[in-house]
Structures are given as C-alpha cells and as structure tokens.
Amino acid sequence: MKHDIRFMDDHFEVVYTGEATPEGFDSVLHDLTGHESWRPGAAILNDYRAVDFTRLKNYSKIEAIAEIIYRYREKLGPIRVADLFSENEIRTYAKLEKTIRSYHGYEFEYYSADDFDKALLWLKKRR
C-alpha cells in the first residue's frame, strides 16, 4: 500500500493506493508520526478510496494492524480520524475499526467516496 501525506494547516490528509497490508499501515504510521508537522492528537483525514482491502478480510490480519497501531499509541496521542472509502470497502474496514477502537479508544468516523466535505467538517468540529 502506497501513501502520500500532506499537512493542511490544521490536519493531515493521507491518500492511499494499492493493496492494504499490515506492512503498509506500519509504513504510514512511521512516516506520519515522523513528519515534521506531526503532533500527538492530530486530526487525520484518510482517503482509502483507491485501496483494495481484499487481503484484510481475516481476523488475524485485522488484529495485526490493531497491534501495529498500538505500538504507535504514544506518538499518536488522542487522534481524531475521518476515513473515506469506496462503497465496497466500508464494511470490511468497519471490522478493523472495531478492533482498533477496543485497543485504543480513538475517535473514528466513516464516509463514502463522495463525502469528502462532510468528512472534513466532522474532523474539524473539535478543533
């Protein structure tokens, strides 16, 4: 899974492409928390509309991603995350989110492919 990270004044936007893998999530968290503008508790808009989640449809891989996120918990802080998905992938990722939330208690919201503005509005509500 490839990613492009951009800092947009008060939040990060991360655009993903390719096939979702645990290694891809580890890579983006490494790059995101190492970004010069990163601060724990930042707001993040993840754009997963061009990602294939087919290989994440088993629980062991979902749990592996939750464990990767757990390793970054101190650097992440109390993040607020808005995720954009294609309609086909929302259900798959919702399973991952439940596992992540149980590990970390982060705030997540999901939006379909055409709801970019709604996602951004929710993300900025708290700021």
pLDDT at 102: 55
Whether 37 shows a pLDDT value over 90: the answer reads: yes
Q: pLDDT per residue over 39-87, tens digit each?
A: 999 999 999 999 988 887 777 887 888 889 889 999 999 888 888 888 7
d(CA 93, CA 75): 23
When divided into structural domains, the chain yields a total of 1
Could you say which DSSP state residue 127 is in? Answer: -
d(CA 3, CA 120): 19
Q: At what angle do helices 59-71 and 22-33 cross, to 10 degrees?
A: 20
Residue 119 CB: number of other CB atoms within 10 A?
20
23 is in which domain, residue-wise? 2-125
Q: What is the pTM of this model?
A: 0.78
Is residue 27 within 8 A of residue 69, CB to CB? The reply is: no
Q: pLDDT per residue over 78-125, tens digit each?
A: 888 888 888 766 666 665 665 555 555 566 666 666 778 887 787 777
pLDDT at 34: 98
Q: What is the CATH number of the domain that holds 59?
A: 3.30.750.24
Is residue 53 within 8 A of residue 90, CB to CB? The reply is: no
